[in-house]
Amino acid sequence: MAKKDTFTVVVGCGRLGAHIAQTLLGSGGGVLVIDETRDSFRKLGATFDGILLCGDATDTATLDEAGIGSASALIAVTGDDNINIMVAQMAKALYNVPRVIARLYNPERSIINEKLGIGTISPVLLSTKEIESALNIDEVPV
């Protein structure tokens, strides 16, 4: 649950980014969403009242404009692993954002984030785990 005094920057307004933004806002936290294409913000729906910023999140000018310095968390969920890694590393190394999470389609790339204190979410690993446990449930009757 997001607390009232949190401020989360979500980079990339795809399906996951939009859903995270809505959820965090719904639980009372401050949310700012960055995406390169304005059209992507439509996924958030008309009632979304978080802050929208159209721009390139790998540009420090955009991150400054987003007020990244005061963010309690940054979540990088664009469709490009390498962009997510770079934005996450910039947030950590240049702006010292306390919580930084990057979504990586390829979990093998996560090794380069490990020592920097950046969390990695990999849909492949999560799905594998879920599918595995679903299979196990079917096999082992409770």
Partner 1 sequence: MKKRVVIIGGFHKAKSLAVSLLEQGYAVTVINENREHCEILAEIPHLAVYNGDGTEPFILEDASIQNAEIAIAMTKSDADNLVACELCKKKFGVKKTVTLIGDPAKTEFFYKMGIDSVVCEITTITGIIEQQAFLDEISTLVPIGDGRIKISQVPIPQDAPVVDERLMDISLPKNVLIGCIMRGDTGMIPRGDSVIRAGDVLVLISSDEHETAAHRALLGK
Interacting residues toward partner 1 by CB under 8 A: 58-60, 80-83, 85-86, 89-90, 93-94, 106, 108-109, 111-112, 115
The alpha carbon of residue 93 and the mean position of all alpha carbons in its chain are separated, in whole angstroms, by 17
Measured from the CB atom, the residue of 23 and 106 that comes closer to partner 1 is: 106
Measured from the CB atom, the residue of 77 and 85 that comes closer to partner 1 is: 85
Q: How far is the CB of 136 from partner 1 (least distance, A)?
A: 29
Q: Give dist(CA 141, CA 74) in Å, integer.
A: 41
Measured from the CB atom, the residue of 22 and 122 that comes closer to partner 1 is: 122
Measured from the CB atom, the residue of 59 and 130 that comes closer to partner 1 is: 59
Question: Would you say 43 and 21 are in contact if contact means Cβ atoms under 8 Å apart?
Answer: no
Question: Would you say 50 and 28 are in contact if contact means Cβ atoms under 8 Å apart?
Answer: no
Q: How far is the CB of 57 from partner 1 (least distance, A)?
A: 10
Q: How far is the CB of 60 from partner 1 (least distance, A)?
A: 6
